[in-house]
Amino acid sequence: MAGYQQFTLAQLQALFYEQLGGNTVFWRTDEVTRILQEAFRVFNCMTGFWRDRVDISPTVANQVYYNVPSGLTYLYRVEVNGVALTSTDLYGLDYGQPTWESEVCTSTTIPQMFAPVGFNLFALWPASFAGLESLVVEGVTPAPVLTNVGFVNLGSDELDMILSYALHVAQFKEGGQEFETSQERLKLFLKQAGSRNAVLMQSSKFRKWMGLEGQRKRPMRSPGNSKVGAR
């Protein structure tokens, strides 16, 4: 992959220590490994960086629910006969199409939408009429376990994000001003994650972390109440 480099665990540890003044006494090597592993998992959860594409054909006539292939933590794309379906959720189906679970395609149409149902199931709407269409899903795979792989491929942006989060976690142990300062690294990490994954921007929890929910709730100042000059 252009612009990507291979990093071993030892190299990642060295980069981590560089930003903490090489203090291998306060942060032990095994501790750093666990911090880096957490950073990889959170990064992957937020961005869906590690992905896979799995053919689980065929569709089944009148079947609504399908199993998510093992090895995928969550889905972000489903294709039927090579056509990408629109993503929705159970709430949208239940309240927008109350009888959706009993609805079936015509003989000349294919399902239009998919909705995740927890982590191990997803639903198609409408259900296939006769089945036997190709069904391909794409989803996020677990982050690599650093102690089990020889190296990981990362670009400079991904590396910076992972190290930012790892350093924030590490500073929790030190506490005080160092930990307060590390909050900026966390905010940068969350902002970059949001820019990579538009789905995050629709999450109320993510918006709360970023301080966006409060902004939405603030009432707008009425032009009639505005004053000119010093206040």
pLDDT in tens, 14-23: 999 998 877 7
pLDDT at res. 105: 97
Which domain covers residue 120, as residue numbers? 51-140
pLDDT beneath 70, residues of the chain:
1-2, 175-176, 179, 197-231
pTM: 0.73
Residues 150 and 186 in one domain: yes
User: Which of helix, strand or coil describes residue 221?
Assistant: coil
Q: Which residues contact 5 (CB under 8 A, 6 or more apart)?
A: 153, 154, 155
pLDDT at res. 225: 46
In a domain, 224, yes or no: no
In a domain, 165, yes or no: yes
In a domain, 166, yes or no: yes
pLDDT at res. 121: 93
Domain count, the chain: 2
- Percent composition of the chain: helix, strand, coil (DSSP 3-state, to 5): 40, 20, 40
126/134 Cα distance (integer angstroms): 15
User: Which of helix, strand or coil describes residue 153?
Assistant: strand
Q: Do 84 and 75 touch, CB atoms closer than 8 A?
A: no
pLDDT at res. 6: 94
pLDDT at res. 214: 54
Residues 150 and 40 in one domain: yes
pLDDT at res. 172: 77
Report which DSSP code applies to 118.
T
